[in-house]
Structures are given as structure tokens and as C-alpha cells.
Amino acid sequence: MSALETAEQLSGEEQDKPSPLPPTATFLTGVALAEDATPVGGSVSGGGRASEARAKQSDGPRYTDSRSLVTETMSAMDLPRISFLRREIQKKASGLDRVEFIMTMATCVAGDISNPVRCIDDIHVSMVANFCEIFAQVDVNNDGTVDWEELSSFMIDMGMKDWAKSGAGTPNYAYAGQVDSARPTQAADQIQYFPKNDTVAIIEENARFFRVYHAHSMHMKRQYDVQDAISAARSVCYCTPGGYYVLGTSASRVCFYEEGTGSVWKDFEAPSIPVCATAGSISV
């Protein structure tokens, strides 16, 4: 009798009378800690594999709560193992069948991802039974396979149910006063250095402002806001004499900002969106 058949038989026998789990037990304790457990990748000699696995099954803990089972299973996997699990599942467009799913999960939880499990009989029967239960829960469309969308959706659903059951509310977050509000929060769309006044202007992606920093310290000197409510900053230059920052916006406008006050001295409409501004010209 194979490990899968033994696991199915034991699952049916114990369905109505699940054994209590000791408080100190953890997922796959019988596999990971028991001295007589068959390790992943190991084997039991002779024809007594099924009978020996059956004997060990009585000592190996099994979860009957799928949420606890999934929680313990996922907590046993780090990022490389989860990435391996996803790659293995996505190799087949239709997903993994039950045997493939069990071997893949066994590799992720207790095996070596560089040497995946290739034979289901090398997996301890209690582990097979646990993964059979997960497979039955995840295969929501009953097509005999599990794809990545089904598995990831199931894990999210189980996590949300645990969160709701715990009655936990939204955490209260406190504002950290030491955060520098002048620090850029988006990727820079344009950075310009102006040697005439030794400043650096930064335009962030889709920002309705641009910021000017002292070049030697990169401390913010001033923020200049776009005046209308629908356009974003696109290009900026510094003009002398007079000391003006010239901004081109996505609304096809060119605005002159006074360096000292930050107010708009003059603005006019351009024939198209200015994409590059220099001290002597504005390109459109």
C-alpha cells in the first residue's frame, strides 16, 4: 500500500474522532522530531513501509483545522521556498495534481528545494495526510488540480478569517514627528543643477510642485507649487538676471517664480507641453 493510500485510509478512519493535539506540538512534529520518523527523501526498507507508517501515524500529530494547518505550513517556508512553490505550480498551465502538489509541498516544508522530492513514498504518511487535506480545501472547482491563483487566494482567505475571528481592530499608528517632510517620497522625474546660485531642483513623478535644495548640503531651500489644480510640473530652469525659476507644466503653461518669495511673477500659455527648459530658451 502506498503512502497516499495509507494517508487516505487513515484520514477516513479518523475523520469522526480527531486526536487532541498536545499544547507543545507543532506542525509535523512527528516527522521533524520523532526519532523513528521517515525523513523527506528517506525510505523504509522492505515491504513494511505502509505498516510502519501506519504505526507512526498514531504518534504523529495531524491538524483537522485547515486554518491552523495552512498557518503552520506557510510559517515553515521562507521567501526562497515560497518562490520555489510558485514556480513549480506555474510550470503547468493546468496546475498540479494531488501527487505533484504533495511532493512539491513536502519539498518546500521539510525538504531541500535544490533536490526536490520525486517519490511520494519517500514522504511520511502523516505529512501526506496533511497535504491531502490542504489539497481538498484549495481545489475549490474540484477539477483535481491546484493552480497558484487557487492556492494564494485560499491562503489570503484563511488569513482574513483568522484576523476576523481574533477580533483584532485596525492598529493605531502614531505620527512620527522626526520624519523629514522635505524628503522626496516619489521617484525623481527630473533633476537639474544650477551653478549660478549653487542649487539643485528636483521634480518628482506627477508632482504638482518642484523643490529646490542647497547643492552642498541638499537641505531644502524652498518648495514651489503649481498654481492650477490640474497640471503637474514637467521641466524647470533658473534664469538671471532677476533670479527666476521657470517652470513648464503639463497644462502647457510656463510660470516664472521669484527665487526669494516663491510667488509667481508671470505665466503664459505655451503652444504645447514644455519638456525641456534652459536659461536661454524653452523647448516645446
Give the pLDDT band of residue 210 (cuts 50, 70, 90).
very high
Neighbouring-strand partners of residue 204: 188
pLDDT of 50 > 70? The answer is no
pLDDT at 200: 93
Q: For 190-196, what is the mean pLDDT?
A: 90
Those residues whose C-beta lies under 8 Å from the C-beta of residue 178, and which sit 6 or more positions away, are none
Size of the chain, expressed as the number of residues it contains? 284
Q: How far apart are the C-alpha atoms of 182 and 188, rounded to whole Å? A: 14
Q: For 250-261, what is the mean pLDDT?
A: 88
Average pLDDT of every residue of the chain: 72
pLDDT tens sequence across 125-184: 888 888 888 888 888 888 899 998 888 888 777 766 665 665 555 566 666 666 666 777
For the chain, percent of residues with pLDDT exceeding 90: 12
CATH for 188-283?
2.40.128.630
pLDDT tens sequence across 17-32: 333 333 333 333 333 3
> In the chain, where are the structural domains located?
3-166, 188-283
pLDDT at 77: 76
pLDDT at 166: 59
pLDDT of 97 > 60? The answer is yes
pLDDT at 29: 33
pLDDT of 199 > 90? The answer is yes
pLDDT at 194: 92
Other CB atoms within a 10 A radius of the CB of residue 38 amount to 23
- Higher pLDDT: 251 or 173? It is 251
Cβ proximity of 163 and 152 under 8 Å: no
